[in-house]
Structure 1
Amino acid sequence: MKFQYEGPAFCCRKGKVKIATPEIPQELHRLFTSQVDADAKYFRKRIRYFNTHFSFTRLGVTLDKTVSNAARTGVYTFVAQGSMYYKMDDLVPGGQGPRNLQLYFYDTDETLEHRVKRSPDLDINIIRKILEILEENPYVQTFKSIGSIPNLEEYRISLNTDIRLDQRRYNAPTASQVAAMWVEGSDPQNTFDRQVVLYGKGDRPIFIRAYYGCYDPLAYPLFFPRGETGWNRWIPYETPSKVALEDNEDDTEREDMHGLDQTSNVHLERNTDEVPDDEEEQDDDETGGSRKFVSAREYYCFKLQVRKGLFNIILFGARGFQQWAFDMYIKMETMRLDFFSKPKNQKLVRADLYQGVVDVMDAGETHGSHVGKRIVLPRTFPGGDRDMQRRFLDAMAIVQRFGKPDYFITTTCNPHWEEITSGLEPGQTPQDRPDLVARVYRAKLRSMKDLLIKKKYFGEVAAYVHVTEFQKRGLPHEHMLLIMSSDSKLTNPDGYDKVISAELPNKDKYPILHALVVKHMLHGPCGALRKNCPCMIDGECRFRYPRQFCDATQQGKDSYPIYRRRPDGHQVKVRGAELDNRWVVPYNPGLLMRYNCHINVEACSSIKAVKYLFKYIYKGHDRASFSVDPAVQNDGEVINEIKQYMDARFMGPQESITRTCGFPMFGVSPSVLQLQLHLEDMQPITFKEGDNLDDVINRPSSYSTMLTEFLKMNLVDPYVRNFLYKEFPEFYRWIKGKKKWQRRKLRGRG
């Protein structure tokens, strides 16, 4: 199943990615799908609880309790802070009794007393059914066989972390392929090429790393009942020589290959509409141009697809699906961050001023590890602080070139769009299918961008920026700033009234529009009508509702106009309160009718709005509040920015799937090139830890920069002298690999 704007490469890279869909036992299929059986409904309502009970690993995660508890609103969302990890317990239970993998040791007891004690709230009959379903699971077979063994503390179990079954065809692993057991002192050498060893009583925790092939079946036995292997680094493309790469296809967003770890086959997504031109060119092997193996993002994007005639159990997982979607993206991001943080997985690239390196050489130092500063979380990592700061500066450069924005548009996803509800399976709700929500929202957003920019809904658009964010309960929303050409700008209150309304429409004359305004565009109630509303801060609405009545639109004193809100007596009852025009969020009737969702359209009437708006949309994604340690510890060790990023991030299933699908979350048009500016011999250079500094300063790339090459061209090309440095990229493009400027082929110029 494909939605609008999803190209032929979205699901499987035009056939390059092929993963067999696992066979699901009939009884498990019934539990996941039946709408009439009481036990199936009970099971799905508590599916995360059941999965945790049968999981072989112990989950460590910090949930946002305000949204992961559906008691107040009825809407459950798996939103977590920081990292997510899985640990394996020792074979011998501790003082808390058996749990996770240890529970399987005692399943020979028909009373299942150990499971009742561990999870007294779960239906024991369903537990019995699931145990019967899992009898063919090789991990269950391994751990269940331990139950009759005395002196368990003397035993060891090796888990194969690199199971290389051909996933292009259905192959369930056997017990001998996933695990091996032996007694201490008779250790079989090299049982598996890569493995983790579980001890009877260990002195340190055993973590299941993100890149282990056993990660998925150990954590989600209900999704992989026969122990089917998850993603690993060696899943080959299907007939790679016959399929063209799709990196440059319009409908497929590129993956950022900077910071590629070839051993783990993990790639960074770019997640943006523009491609920075000032990054170091990497060779074909590093950028993935000749990759032979499926990346983690491609693998899990494939797993999210709906295919006719195939039962995808993950998409029926409801709350378990939310956790899985979050978990798989955190797995990908963890591997990407590992590349930057672990010395064994990254080249220690350091940066310093060219002149600084020369000075150090004059002092007798020639080794790269003794100079420079470590780049901890580079700007090529989407969503990092450097990345967001760069985007903000790019957006301000757009303003400097094209002027202040004219429209500020905020669009929020409607989870009840027909395209979403028609795709739901019986008994499902929109929060059960974050994949549908993310994909439909992306299609709607692309349609709106085409309407506004290509079809010139408000007129000619000279430039724009946009960014996707996610609400507390996970729904995506978009901020878009439009800068119009001179003959399409809003210049007076009459112009505002032609495109923006802040009043309830006449119900008799415009019944559909009236219903949409009441449904999507009324704020609150808050203030005196509802003092506990989330928008209330210190007794005041932070959005300043209710607004004052106003007979005619006026030029505002701050960033927005004062819209017309006439006291015409029209009122509607919303959430138990009577609301009038003072509560209407400004909207455009045409966009509201077309897209049936919350679309706030504001006119930017003052230059004062610019910095606030751009900082607002580029403030970065949700973070937790936490204390920041000093930049340098007493021993001189620099604080780990990657750890700070991981500890502070908040993420839910919608954002996870948006990133897994590679959908762009940022955009700016026209693209912005960051120009280098430096004094003579003070340009930044890059070098590796073991480089000889004499070689570093003498290589051409060390002394050729955008600025030095621009100055050289002024000496030889009279045409170049017509432009300032900041104007130069409009007429010349920077070839980053060759470190030179090339004249653009502009329309209308010979």
Structure 2
Amino acid sequence: MGGGVDKNINKGRGPYVFRLKGQNYHRIGTLLPQEGDKPRFQQLYIYDTENEIHNRLQVSRSGECSAPLDESIITGLVTMLNENNTLVQSFRMARDRFEGHEYHNLTLRLLGNREQYARQCNMPSASEIAALIVKDPAEGSNRRDIILEYKDMRPKRVSEVHPKFMAMQYPLLFPYGEDGFRPGIRYKENGARNGKKSITMLEYYAYRLQQRSDQSMLMLTCGNLSMQFLVDVYACIEQSRLDWIRRNQGALRTELFSGLRDAIVKGDTRTEQVGRRILLPASFRGSPRCKEQNYQDAMAICRWAGYHDLFVTFICNPKWPEIQCMLDEAGNQQKPAARPDIVVRVFMLKLKELMMDIKQRRHFGKTKANKYGKPHQITKNRLKCMYVFCL
């Protein structure tokens, strides 16, 4: 991962929090390490596999974690991945070539354009997702393909829409090397929405991150690794939205915003400092225009309805019986901090019920207007939301 992980936030006594700083992206290196360097990441599947367990122990102990590691567990995981994971089998193909000293100009291409050949029921095989080539990888390669050079190359960025984007980062969450999100996944028959024929990244992960009684919940039951995965998914969805805004600046009619007024407000009073910008619309949550629009809406309500009568703060309690009931149904003795999806869902249900009590059932009288803030996280894994009402 290219983003910086903030580890200072977990020095207190609160629940575990995974905080990512900076731009998030995934990178992949070369097939073999440089001379004198130790193998890392996918290189462990290719280079010096006779001492693979020892190399993995050294890599795991090189960080801040000082907990003892069980070699038998690592051996069992490696055996499981060798037998079932298609990505690992692709890397093993490269290892077999290198053992036969066939490594000159050899590259491994992980195919990114598989929507026309992907099966719906069967798991992909190693030959379907990767290809060993002995030519210039720039010729005839798709822009989303991942090209792993022999060596002497810098790490390359992996596209967020590559089918194996998450499977390479989290092999234990995707033990078979399953495909993740890719553009072009169709809705079911007669399932198109608003004229769209393909699902979005948000819809895909919203479907995958659901608790179902007849399906595995591996992505939600891995503790801190699941927390990292959820943050990674959210960052990918936000990046997908930003990419769409960047490509559709004309459709958003940004020429109406990028004038002299915006330049002066931003402090760019020198003409040589004013260049082409990517402007975020008010529909993008957290953008400057979104905040300004919310502020103007709040001031307009106060001007029309007068000063507010109630300032309500609604806080979530992780010991609510509804949350505990869902945790008991999920099993594995999970704590509320490990299942933010359950906490947020129960919180929003109770928040909507509170709004009905105030607005429709009129417990405090007739409501003329209301303005609310976005729910956010505070200490001890509690959520709060602030509402302002004019009665």
TM range (shorter): 0.7 to 0.9
* CA distance 1:332–1:209, change in 2 (3 Å): same
> Which residue pairs with 1:63 in the alignment?
5
State yes or no: 1:93 paired with 2:33.
yes
Match of 2:43 among 96, 102, 112: 102
- Amino acid paired to 2:91: F
Counterpart CA distance in 1 for 2:277 and 2:139 is 39
**Pairing of 1:36-75 with structure 2 (within 5 A):** 59-67=1-9, 69=10, 72-73=12-13, 75=15
User: How far has the Cα of 1:209 moved from its partner?
Assistant: 1.6
Match of 1:119 among 57, 60, 77: 60
- Amino acid paired to 1:305: Q
Q: Is the 8 A contact 1:378 1:386 kept in 2?
A: yes
- Amino acid paired to 1:221: P
Match of 1:351 among 220, 230, 255: 255
DSSP 3-state at the match of 1:438: helix
Counterpart CA distance in 2 for 1:128 and 1:457 is 63
Q: Is the 8 A contact 2:45 2:52 kept in 1?
A: no
**Pairing of 1:432-451 with structure 2 (within 5 A):** 432-451=338-357
State yes or no: 1:430 paired with 2:340.
no
> Which residue pairs with 2:188 in the alignment?
238
Match of 2:157 among 180, 195, 207: 207
> Which residue pairs with 2:376 in the alignment?
470
Match of 1:220 among 165, 170, 193: 170
Counterpart CA distance in 2 for 1:92 and 1:459 is 71
User: How far has the Cα of 1:224 moved from its partner?
Assistant: 0.9
DSSP 3-state at the match of 1:333: helix
- Amino acid paired to 1:411: F
More displaced stretch, 119-128 vs 84-93: 119-128
Q: Is the 8 A contact 2:107 2:148 kept in 1?
A: yes
Match of 1:321 among 209, 216, 226: 226
User: How far has the Cα of 1:166 moved from its partner?
Assistant: 8.0
Counterpart CA distance in 2 for 1:166 and 1:182 is 20
- Amino acid paired to 1:477: K
More displaced stretch, 375-384 vs 460-469: 375-384
* CA distance 1:107–1:140, change in 2 (3 Å): farther
State yes or no: 1:300 paired with 2:205.
yes
State yes or no: 1:143 paired with 2:64.
no
Cα offsets for 1:574-614 (capped at 9, x unmatched) = xxxxxxxxxxxxxxxxxxxxxxxxxxxxxxxxxxxxxxxxx
Q: Is the 8 A contact 1:180 1:191 kept in 2?
A: no
Q: Is the 8 A contact 1:352 1:372 kept in 2?
A: no
* CA distance 1:113–1:472, change in 2 (3 Å): same
* CA distance 1:208–1:309, change in 2 (3 Å): same
Q: Is the 8 A contact 2:378 2:384 kept in 1?
A: no
* CA distance 1:106–1:87, change in 2 (3 Å): same
Counterpart CA distance in 1 for 2:277 and 2:51 is 59
* CA distance 1:209–1:111, change in 2 (3 Å): closer
**Pairing of 1:262-273 with structure 2 (within 5 A):** none
Counterpart CA distance in 2 for 1:401 and 1:124 is 69
- Listed as ranges, the gaps of 5+ residues in structure 2 are 62-67, 261-273
- Amino acid paired to 2:285: P
> Using CA pairs below 8 Å that are at least 6 residues apart, which structure has the higher relative contact order?
1
> Which residue pairs with 2:267 in the alignment?
none
DSSP 3-state at the match of 2:299: helix
DSSP 3-state at the match of 2:57: helix
Q: Is the 8 A contact 1:297 1:332 kept in 2?
A: yes
Cα offsets for 1:628-665 (capped at 9, x unmatched) = xxxxxxxxxxxxxxxxxxxxxxxxxxxxxxxxxxxxxx
State yes or no: 1:170 paired with 2:121.
yes
Q: Is the 8 A contact 1:379 1:387 kept in 2?
A: yes
Counterpart CA distance in 1 for 2:111 and 2:352 is 44
More displaced stretch, 141-150 vs 305-314: 141-150
**Pairing of 1:696-711 with structure 2 (within 5 A):** none
- Amino acid paired to 1:224: F
Counterpart CA distance in 1 for 2:49 and 2:278 is 54
Match of 2:300 among 377, 381, 397: 397
* CA distance 1:244–1:218, change in 2 (3 Å): closer
Q: TM-score, normalised by structure 1?
A: 0.45
Counterpart CA distance in 2 for 1:309 and 1:399 is 51
User: How far has the Cα of 1:182 moved from its partner?
Assistant: 2.2
> Which residue pairs with 2:105 in the alignment?
154
User: How far has the Cα of 1:428 moved from its partner?
Assistant: 0.7
Counterpart CA distance in 2 for 1:65 and 1:99 is 22
Larger helix percent: 2
- Amino acid paired to 1:109: E
* CA distance 1:188–1:402, change in 2 (3 Å): closer
- Listed as ranges, the gaps of 5+ residues in structure 1 are 1-58, 246-288, 357-370, 485-750
> Which residue pairs with 2:271 in the alignment?
none
User: How far has the Cα of 1:447 moved from its partner?
Assistant: 0.8
- Amino acid paired to 1:230: G
DSSP 3-state at the match of 2:228: helix
User: How far has the Cα of 1:226 moved from its partner?
Assistant: 0.8
Q: Is the 8 A contact 2:145 2:162 kept in 1?
A: no
DSSP 3-state at the match of 2:345: helix
**Pairing of 1:380-419 with structure 2 (within 5 A):** 380-419=283-322
Q: Is the 8 A contact 1:155 1:200 kept in 2?
A: yes
CA-based RMSD? 2.8
Q: Is the 8 A contact 1:350 1:373 kept in 2?
A: no
- Amino acid paired to 1:478: C
